[in-house]
Chain A
Amino acid sequence: MFAAVYAAEGSPSTVLMEVARDFSPRVEACGSREVTLDVSGLARLFGDGKTIAAELRRTAADRGLRVRVAVAGTRTAARLLVHHSKPCDDVTVIEPGTEATSLADLPIELLAILGTAEPEPRTREPRIPDPFTITLRRWGLRTLGELASLPPDEVAARLGQAGVEWQRLARGEDRRPLLPAVPEERFEQALDLEWPIEGLEPLSFVLGRLIEPLSAHLERRDRGGAVLHVRLHLVTREVHERSLQLPAPIRDARTLRTLALLDLESHPPSAAIDRVVVAIDPTPGRVVQFSLLTRPLPSPEQLSTLMARLNALMGEGRCGAAVAVDSWEPGAFAMKPFAPSDASDVHQDKPWSHGGTEISSTDGAGEKDLRVSVSPWPVAVKEAANVPTVAIRRFRFPVPARVRIDRGVPVRVISDRRGWSGGHVETHAGPWRSSGGWWVTEKKNGLCWERDEWDVTLSDGATYRIFRERDTDAWFIEGIVD
Chain B
Amino acid sequence: MANQALAVLESALRARKLDRTLTTALPPLERRDESALIPTSIAALDACLHGGLPRGQLSEIIGPRSSGRTTLLLQMMAATTRRGEIAAVVDTFDRLDVASVGAAGIDPDRLLWIRGQTICEHGPRSHASASPWLGEASFEQTVVDRALKALNLVLQAGGFAYVAIDLADVSRSTLTRIPFTTWLRVQRIIEGSDTACVLVAPQPLARSAGGLTLSLTACARWAGEADRSRHVIGADLTVRVVSPRRRVDGEVGIRATAAATF
A interface residues, Cβ below 8 angstroms from B: 294-298, 302-303, 305-306, 309-310, 313-315, 318-324, 331-333, 335, 338-341, 343-344, 346, 348, 350, 352, 355-357, 376-382, 385-397, 399-400, 409, 417-419, 427-432, 455, 457, 460-463, 479-482
Contacts and interface: CB of A to CB of B under 8 A. Distances in A.
B43 interface: yes
Contacts of A356: 99, 261
The 7 closest A-B pairs by CB, nearest first: A376-B102, A343-B84, A298-B159, A397-B120, A391-B100, A462-B65, A333-B98
Contact of B256 (A306, A339, A388): A388
B257 A387 contact: yes
Contacts of B118: 395-397
Interface in B96-148: 96-105, 107-116, 118-121, 125-129, 136-137, 146
B66 A391 contact: no
B222 A482 contact: no
B160 A298 contact: yes
A419 B175 CA distance: 13
B254 interface: yes
Contact of A390 (B113, B115, B234): B234
A428 to B, nearest CB: 7
B106 to A, nearest CB: 9
Interface stretch (B9-17, B176-184, B207-215, B223-231): B223-231
Given A310-B153, A463-B66, A324 B97 contact: no
A333 to B, nearest CB: 4
A127 to B, nearest CB: 36
Nearest to B87: A340
Given A302-B159, A321-B109, A391-B74, A482 B66 contact: yes
Given A390-B234, A463-B220, A418 B115 contact: no
Contact of A394 (B67, B96, B157): B96
B8 interface: no
Contacts of A294: 84
Given A318-B116, A346-B82, A376-B108, 20 more contacts: A297-B86, A298-B159, A306-B154, A313-B150, A322-B108, A331-B98, A331-B99, A343-B85, A356-B99, A381-B104, A381-B259, A385-B79, A389-B105, A389-B259, A393-B96, A395-B118, A429-B228, A429-B232, A462-B66, A481-B235
Contacts of B114: 310, 314, 318-319
B241 interface: no
B58 interface: no
Contacts of A400: 121
Nearest to B85: A295
Contact of B103 (A310, A376, A419): A376
B95 interface: yes
Interface string B73-97: 1110011011111100000001111
A427 B97 contact: no
A310 B74 CA distance: 22
B99 A324 contact: yes
B168 A390 contact: no
Nearest to B172: A419
Interface of B: 41-43, 64-75, 78-79, 81-86, 94-105, 107-116, 118-121, 125-129, 136-137, 146, 149-150, 153-154, 157-161, 168-169, 171, 194, 219-220, 222, 224, 227-228, 230-232, 234-235, 237, 254-262
B230 A429 contact: yes
A392 B97 contact: yes
A391 B85 CA distance: 22
A385 B41 contact: yes
A388 B113 contact: no
Nearest to B127: A315
Given A346-B84, A355-B102, A388 B237 contact: yes
A393 B159 contact: no
B66 A295 contact: no
Contact of A389 (B74, B107, B120, B150): B74
A399 B94 CA distance: 14
Contacts of B104: 381, 388-389, 391
B244 to A, nearest CB: 26
Nearest to A332: B98
Given A389-B257, A389-B259, A390-B262, A296 B159 contact: yes
Given A339-B109, A377-B105, A385 B82 contact: yes
Given A318-B115, A399-B121, A385 B158 contact: no
B259 A378 contact: yes
Nearest to A419: B171
26 contacts: A298-B159, A302-B159, A306-B157, A314-B116, A315-B128, A319-B114, A321-B113, A338-B109, A356-B99, A381-B103, A385-B82, A389-B74, A389-B104, A389-B258, A390-B71, A391-B70, A391-B103, A392-B99, A396-B95, A397-B121, A397-B126, A429-B224, A429-B232, A461-B64, A462-B66, A481-B235
A378 B169 contact: no
Contacts of B98: 322-324, 331-333
A389 B255 CA distance: 9
B103 A378 contact: yes
B107 A315 contact: no
A482 B228 CA distance: 22
A391 B71 contact: yes
Contact of B231 (A319, A339, A394, A455): A455
Contacts of A348: 82
Contacts of B68: 388, 390, 482
A340 B222 contact: no
A295 B161 contact: yes
A322 B70 contact: no
A151 B66 CA distance: 82
Contacts of A460: 64-65
A430 B113 contact: no
Nearest to A432: B228
Contacts of A479: 95, 97
Contact of B110 (A340, A388, A463): A340
A305 B169 CA distance: 29
Contacts of B79: 385-386
Contact of B157 (A298, A339, A481): A298
Nearest to A430: B227
